[in-house]
Amino acid sequence: MNIIIQKFGGTSVATKELREKVARKVIQTKEEGKSPVVVVSAMGRSGDPYATDTLINLANHVFPEHSSRELDMMMACGEIISAVIMANTIKFMGYDAVALAGFQAGIITDDHYGDAEVIRVDGENILSLIKKGKIPVVAGFQGITVSGDITTLGRGGSDTTAALLGEALHADVVEIYTDVDGVMTADPRLVPEAKVIDTICYDEIYQMAEDGAKVVHPRAVEIARRGNITLKIKNTFSDAPGTTINGQMGFRNKSYRSMAGDDLITAIAHKNNITQVTVYFEDSVEANELLMNELTIHHISIDLINFFADRKIFTIDEKYTDLLEQILAKHHYQYQCIRGCSKITAIGHKIRGVPGVMARIVKALSHQGIKILQTSDSHTTISCLVRGEDMERAVNALHREFQLS
């Protein structure tokens, strides 16, 4: 059936003019003989009338003691409104479109409100609409429990919806439309010389998403990898070819790289608002278990983990710092917290163990007078923790060092 999933974010559908631009892209896909399935986010961003954050703020203001179930019902409204408006925009331009809420698109979830896990996707309703020549426009970010309660899929949920529908409908490709020309070698707001990457593998884009790049949600990448679905990151506002994401490793257009061995690194990502935590205690099973159990009970995720005999060093999201300090004080741990840190990550397929990569990173940062607080590495990443005020200089230094421009 040559199905193409086309997901458009909130900024892409925020105004009448933009929605008409989106409709023309969808119609062009239809006229090329393909079967588009559109997924939309809520219109606009925080402060806009129907944006998700606006609805959350309304709920918190009107009924601050709301349950998570009712909040999910409220949040789901934004995408439903967007789907209805977008479907009618396409209709106005001469093509039959049908708006679908998440449950009408067959997305069945558990009852973990606010961050539900999808149990299954029944694509029969969408397939029947496609067979009738209609264009389904699906509200992203949402589903329904077996018992009939509306749920939401967590931040980045519309990307997740698009990937899930791509898998369930055996789509040829899932296109994620945003406001940049594709996945870039670094955040262009920090690095003006950043370039678009034409092809990237699942592992690399997943690490980029996990380590701060906001172009696609990591859960969507996981689903695409599971279903071996090609993702494309494209710009709503241009005809740029974008970035293709698939399972092919090792092939990338090197037009933006030096050919002299500087193609190890694909991109530099960054994540802000991190706290480094050092807890001092002699290594013991009881002390380790107590600390880990407290972190688990309070749903505090840790990263950049370095455990030594006399101290444990790790990072957390800065928003959990006060809570963690209360826990550590309660159990009389000696500790130190450094707030306002940033994690800078160099990403490249299988760079671990390649001689000289870490040395180049250390040299590039030290030449800028940037102190490295902590490091970690994997097969595809080398991460450095730095103070927040050094973040922009660190990103630019590594981007230059590996000649990503």
Contact 211, 383 (CB under 8 A): yes
Q: At 64, give phi and psi (nearest 5°).
A: -60, -15
CA distance 353 to 170: 38
CA distance 35 to 27: 10
Contact 241, 233 (CB under 8 A): no
For 281, half-sphere exposure in the C-beta direction (CA atoms, 13 angstrom radius) is 16
> Residue 174 pairs with which residues in a beta bridge?
5, 231
φ/ψ region of 74 (left if φ > 0, alpha if ψ in -120 to 50, else beta) reads alpha
Angle between helices 68-92 and 52-62 (to 10 degrees): 140
Residue set of the binding site: 7-10, 52, 79, 178-179, 189, 214-215
Residue set of the binding site for substrate: 52, 79
CA distances from 5 to 12, 31, 164, 285 (A): 16, 15, 10, 50
Residue set of the binding site for ATP: 7-10, 178-179, 189, 214-215
**Strand 267-280 with 334-347, pairing:** antiparallel
CA distance 218 to 199: 17
